[in-house]
Structure 1
Amino acid sequence: MSIKITEDCINCGACEPECPNHAIYEGGKTWKMSDGNSLFHKNEDYNIPQEPKKKDTYFIVSEKCTECIGFYEEPQCIMICPVNCCILDMYETKEELINKKNLLHTHHNE
């Protein structure tokens, strides 16, 4: 599953630096698939700025969320959030999450 941030978010920002995939953004901020990972080198499309998923609260880009698989035992945003607004959202298998992690963080000399 990827994780989402509910409307209960108080915009404290505690979750953002904890994400190993750079999948958490402040409300209203554009994002790129290549932010904070090795996709920058793979395909120009990964470097195109995307519209914010939320305007007023922090948000998680589900395409980049791996539930911290391959980094930590538990999702760090869920552990750090003081108001418990980071919750499981879409179902993804562990294999799908590992594949996503490998896509985001495998360095290629292309």
Structure 2
Amino acid sequence: MSLFITDECINCDVCEPECPNDAIYQGIEIYEINPKLCTECVGHFDQPQCVEVCPVACIPKDPDNIETREQLLQKYKELVSN
């Protein structure tokens, strides 16, 4: 699964620079995550870095974008090869 940012986001700006895939961006009202770029940090780190730094715990797994660890690793490989 990729991750997503809920309405509890306070726009604190700490998650965006932590994303190794540049999947996080400022949306209209809150930060958002591009599911095509989110690998939950698989291939980079053991834990999703945005989740680690979020002060309000508003970044859960996205039930609309279910992916296995193997799929996330494949996405990571494709992203770093480009």
Alignment of 1:4 onto 2:9: no
TM-score, normalising length from structure 2? Answer: 0.93
Q: Which portions of structure 1, spanning 4 or more consecutive aligned residues, are displaced by more than 4 angstroms?
A: none
Gaps of 5+ in 2: none
- How far does residue 105 in structure 1 lie from its aligned partner after superposition? 0.5
The whole-number CA distance in structure 1 between the counterparts of 2:16 and 2:78 is: 21
The whole-number CA distance in structure 2 between the counterparts of 1:63 and 1:76 is: 17
Report % sequence identity: 50
How many residues in Structure 1 have an aligned counterpart in Structure 2?
Answer: 80
1:62 is aligned to: 35
**Equivalent residue letter for 2:73:** I
Gaps of 5+ in 1: 28-54
Alignment of 1:74 onto 2:40: no
**Equivalent residue letter for 2:60:** I
**Equivalent residue letter for 1:101:** Y
Alignment of 1:101 onto 2:70: no
Equivalences for 1:37-48 in 2 at 5 Å?
none
Q: RMSD over aligned Cα, in angstroms?
A: 0.8
Higher Rg = 1
